[in-house]
């Protein structure tokens, strides 16, 4: 279990700052908890028990508001749909039930001093795009009434797991066809693959409604609406429910770090002002993302976002969240063009306490609603305490992502492997705070985004197009396949408390990710997953997937594995050897491109017998089968030591289980 944040001696001089951070969070919690987090239940369109509809919107700067839609021919002057001002900047209306029906489209026309505009309600739970002649993009967005007569009936309880083994996925690009995949296609075709592959958690990207598909879902417009490109809200519920039935937790990639700048579809200018939910002036604009920045110091903003967490947990039964862009939230300068080399960099006055408090309160609420939920922080700065409890001055995340590991792996792909610095590699693999839990990964979606490449594509290059058939004699392919397996294994074997993989990388998906945009002539060619490569027995992708499955089961079947830390036994930079143990498993890696070790000696403090349980060089996994099967190894005494002799071929890793 993680130790206490106070155990870090280097943090002692900053204890007053940590105490200040804690006290600020506790005060914000006292202030905000005076009212329930029910923004989505109070605002928006709701059907009442007395056979009426109620609709409310928070628009303090508005002077007149009309509810318009297909039910009144979009007539902003219809007297029956003029909203009334209520205290606190709230506008509301109550209507007979027959006035509005399921699947009607609607919005609000807002009038303010000097202007007016059509807006999507901030808490709309269903937003659809429709073709139109009136928009320069040929598409208009409207809220849609979602009140089906038959409610979705949940069938399965969420599973419980000790540690996350995460499959990061995007519903739209999960299919092989060139186009946008759907929730139902993902449920029917992809979920079974993920379950069979040995993962226990899915992290879904791009779920919140976003106008531009090419944003990968990171420029959110409607925070309470599932993306309509993939299907209906009930389709998403079925996806989550089915995943639970397969033993998979479902974590949502939630975007609370910024909002899309679009005025009609987004919430940045809801009542004609730029400061309703966001900061006013320059601080309200993200200089790198061209988007709006939330004001986490405003009670209304925090209530809106905290209610959003509650909504996705309760309505769609997600099992937690990966919070995107945490570094951008935490610092007044968004962490841009800044390196974090010492603790002074974290306590220099650049930390946005309001944002830190929001993240802490979000985690507090999430775990109150679902004690089994998992939360993950995407932070590149390494701020101490993100995954520490609030009483210690932390933000109470369950895990933080070990983002330095993947950075180093991709730097190594630019260096011949005979020159790899194994001391540096080992340092990065185990470089994490012992008071916080971390999730490691070789690659996520970021590395393969346009301008990047998948790990195996960087290793193999153009031979991946012509030399991936069974029996090929390409040295580049042999090298890439061997290092792909070894890199994944050592990353998982040294991971702090969990592991993540992006969809398709388990079988060495080639090339890169590029969503349709003007620059690629709106092509979907690189916004899909080529499952046929993985399923083809005549190609060398399938054995990579088989290895990944066996690798995961090797670790997950060892229930106490993540309760132990990796212990280095031997590292030889010249021979390119790393040997370490964790719990009752021994991992031996020979990264040398040409030099095998026929009698490599590993010393142990006591006599032991070992059985091989995973061999990256096995013919089953695209290897050369140099080690063989069905053998055991015993230590022998030599000079007062207990020595194990191992045959370690070049570019091979072995996992041994202590009998």
Q: What secondary structure does DSSP assign to 393-454, as a single string? A: T----SEEE-HHHHHHHHHHTTS-GGG--HHHHHHHHH-S-TTS-EEEES--HHHHBBTB--
Secondary structure string (H, E, C) spanning 8-61:
CHHHHHHHHHHHHHHHHHHHHHHHHCCCCCCHHHHCEEEECCCCEEEEEEECCC
Is residue 28 a part of any domain in this protein? no
Is residue 222 a part of any domain in this protein? no
Is residue 598 a part of any domain in this protein? yes
Residue 3 pLDDT exceeds 80: no
Residue from 319, 378, 428, 546 carrying the catalytic annotation = 378
Is residue 486 a part of any domain in this protein? no
Q: Residue 138 sits in a domain of what CATH number?
A: 2.60.40.10
* pLDDT attached to residue 89: 97
228 is catalytic: no
Is residue 179 a part of any domain in this protein? no
Last residue of a domain, one of 144, 163, 178: 144
How far CA 557 is from CA of 163, 215, 385, in Å, comes to: 12, 38, 31
Residue 137 pLDDT exceeds 90: no
Residue 142 pLDDT exceeds 70: yes
Domain residues for 132? Answer: 39-144
* pLDDT attached to residue 659: 81
Which residues lie across from 587 on neighbouring strands?
580, 655
* pLDDT attached to residue 639: 79
Last residue of a domain, one of 85, 119, 144: 144
Instruction: Report the C-alpha gap between 247 and 243 in whole angstroms.
Output: 6
Residue 1 pLDDT exceeds 60: no
Is residue 580 a part of any domain in this protein? yes
Instruction: Report the C-alpha gap between 503 and 500 in whole angstroms.
Output: 10
324 is catalytic: yes
pLDDT in tens, 414-437: 999 999 999 999 999 999 998 899
* pLDDT attached to residue 323: 98
Predicted confidence band of residue 135 (pLDDT cuts 50, 70, 90)? low
* pLDDT attached to residue 136: 63
Strands 567-572 and 577-582: antiparallel
pLDDT in tens, 553-580: 999 999 999 999 999 999 999 999 999 9
Is residue 439 a part of any domain in this protein? no
Residue 2 pLDDT exceeds 70: no
Instruction: Report the C-alpha gap between 125 and 315 in whole angstroms.
Output: 10
The Cα angle at residue 457 between residues 480 and 464, in degrees rounded to 5: 75
Q: Residue 640 sits in a domain of what CATH number?
A: 2.60.40.1180
Last residue of a domain, one of 109, 144, 179: 144
pTM: 0.96
**What is the rounded average pLDDT of the residues 522-533?**
96
The Cα angle at residue 249 between residues 400 and 164, in degrees rounded to 5: 35
Give which of 410, 405, 487 is closest to 440, Cα–Cα.
405
User: DSSP letter at 650?
Assistant: T
Residue from 324, 435, 506, 514 carrying the catalytic annotation = 324
What is the number of other CB atoms lying within 10 angstroms of the CB of residue 138?
A: 11
pLDDT in tens, 314-326: 999 999 999 999 9
pLDDT in tens, 469-492: 999 999 999 999 999 999 999 999
What is the number of other CB atoms lying within 10 angstroms of the CB of residue 195?
A: 18
Instruction: Report the C-alpha gap between 213 and 143 in whole angstroms.
Output: 18
* pLDDT attached to residue 522: 94
Ranking 67-81, 228-242, 386-400, 636-650 by mean pLDDT, the lowest is 636-650
* pLDDT attached to residue 606: 86
* DSSP result, 312-330: HHHHS---EEEETTHHHHH
As a whole number, the mean pLDDT across the chain is 96
* pLDDT attached to residue 493: 99
* pLDDT attached to residue 45: 98
C-alpha 559 chain-centroid distance: 24
Residue where the block lists tokens 């004699």 = 473
Residue 193 pLDDT exceeds 90: yes
Backbone angles phi, psi at 533, to 5 degrees: -65, -45
pLDDT in tens, 327-373: 999 999 999 999 999 999 999 999 999 999 999 999 999 999 999 99
Q: Which two tokens stand for residue 438?
A: 């971390």
pLDDT in tens, 280-306: 999 999 999 999 999 999 999 999 999
Residues 6+ apart with CB under 8 A from 403: 378, 379, 380
Is residue 648 a part of any domain in this protein? yes
Number of domains forming the structure of the chain: 2
């Amino acid at each position: 279990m993680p130790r206490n944040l106070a155990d870090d001696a280097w943090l002692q001089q900053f204890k007053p700052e940590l105490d200040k951070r804690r006290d600020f969070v506790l005060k914000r919690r006292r202030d905000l908890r005076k009212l329930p987090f029910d923004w989505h239940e109070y605002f928006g369109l709701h059907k009442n028990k007395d056979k009426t509809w109620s609709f409310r919107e928070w628009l303090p700067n508005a002077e007149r508001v009309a509810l318009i839609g297909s039910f009144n021919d979009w007539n902003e002057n219809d007297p029956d749909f003029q909203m009334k001002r209520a205290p606190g900047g709230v506008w509301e209306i109550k209507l007979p039930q027959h006035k509005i029906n399921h699947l009607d489209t609607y919005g609000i026309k807002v009038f303010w001093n000097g202007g007016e505009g059509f807006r999507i309600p901030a808490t709309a739970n269903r937003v659809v795009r429709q073709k139109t002649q009136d928009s320069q993009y040929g598409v208009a967005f409207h809220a849609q009434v979602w009140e089906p007569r038959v409610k979705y009936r949940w069938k399965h309880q969420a599973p419980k797991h000790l540690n996350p083994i995460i499959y990061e996925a995007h519903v739209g690009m999960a299919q092989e066809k060139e186009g946008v995949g759907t929730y139902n296609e993902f449920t029917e075709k992809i979920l079974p693959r993920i379950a069979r592959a040995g993962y226990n958690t899915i992290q879904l990207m791009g779920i919140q409604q976003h106008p531009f598909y090419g944003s990968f879902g990171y420029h959110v417009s409607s925070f309470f609406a599932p993306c309509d490109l993939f299907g209906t809200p009930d389709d998403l519920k079925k996806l989550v429910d089915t995943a639970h039935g397969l033993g998979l937790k479902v974590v949502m990639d939630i975007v609370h770090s910024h909002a899309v700048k679009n005025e009609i579809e987004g919430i940045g200018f809801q009542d004609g002002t730029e400061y309703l939910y966001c900061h006013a002036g320059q601080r309200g604009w993200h200089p790198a993302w061209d988007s709006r920045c939330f004001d986490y110091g405003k009670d209304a903003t925090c209530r809106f976002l905290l209610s959003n967490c509650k909504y996705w947990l309760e309505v769609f039964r997600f099992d937690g969240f990966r919070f995107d862009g945490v570094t951008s939230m935490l610092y007044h300068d968004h962490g841009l063009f800044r390196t974090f080399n010492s603790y002074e960099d974290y306590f220099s006055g650049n930390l946005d306490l309001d944002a830190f408090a929001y993240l802490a309160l979000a985690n507090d609420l999430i775990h109150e609603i679902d004690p089994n939920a998992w939360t993950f922080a995407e932070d590149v700065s390494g701020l101490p305490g993100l995954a520490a409890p609030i009483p210690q001055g932390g933000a109470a995340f369950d895990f933080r992502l070990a983002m330095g590991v993947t950075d180093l792996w991709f730097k190594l792909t630019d260096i011949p492997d005979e020159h790899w610095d194994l001391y540096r590699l080992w340092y990065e693999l185990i470089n994490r705070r012992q008071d916080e839990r971390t999730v490691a990964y070789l690659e996520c979606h970021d590395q393969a985004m346009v301008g990047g490449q998948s790990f195996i594509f960087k290793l193999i290059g153009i031979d991946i197009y012509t030399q991936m058939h069974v029996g090929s004699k390409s040295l580049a392919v042999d090298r890439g396949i061997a290092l792909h397996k070894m890199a994944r294994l050592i990353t998982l074997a040294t991971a702090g408390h969990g592991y993540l993989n992006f969809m398709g990388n388990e079988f060495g998906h080639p090339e890169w990710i590029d969503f349709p945009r003007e620059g690629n002539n709106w092509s979907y060619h690189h916004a899909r997953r080529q499952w046929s490569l993985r399923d083809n027995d005549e190609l060398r992708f399938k054995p990579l997937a088989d290895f990944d499955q066996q690798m995961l089961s090797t670790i997950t079947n060892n229930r106490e594995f993540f309760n132990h830390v990796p212990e280095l036994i031997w590292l030889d930079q010249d021979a390119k050897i790393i040997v370490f143990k964790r719990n009752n498993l021994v991992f031996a890696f020979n990264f040398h491109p040409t030099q095998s070790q026929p009698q490599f000696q590993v010393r142990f403090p006591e006599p032991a017998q070992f059985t091989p349980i995973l061999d990256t060089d096995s013919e089953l996994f695209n290897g050369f089968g140099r080690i063989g099967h069905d053998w055991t190894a015993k230590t022998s005494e030599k000079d007062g030591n207990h020595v194990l002799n191992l045959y370690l071929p070049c570019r091979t890793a072995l996992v041994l289980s202590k009998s």
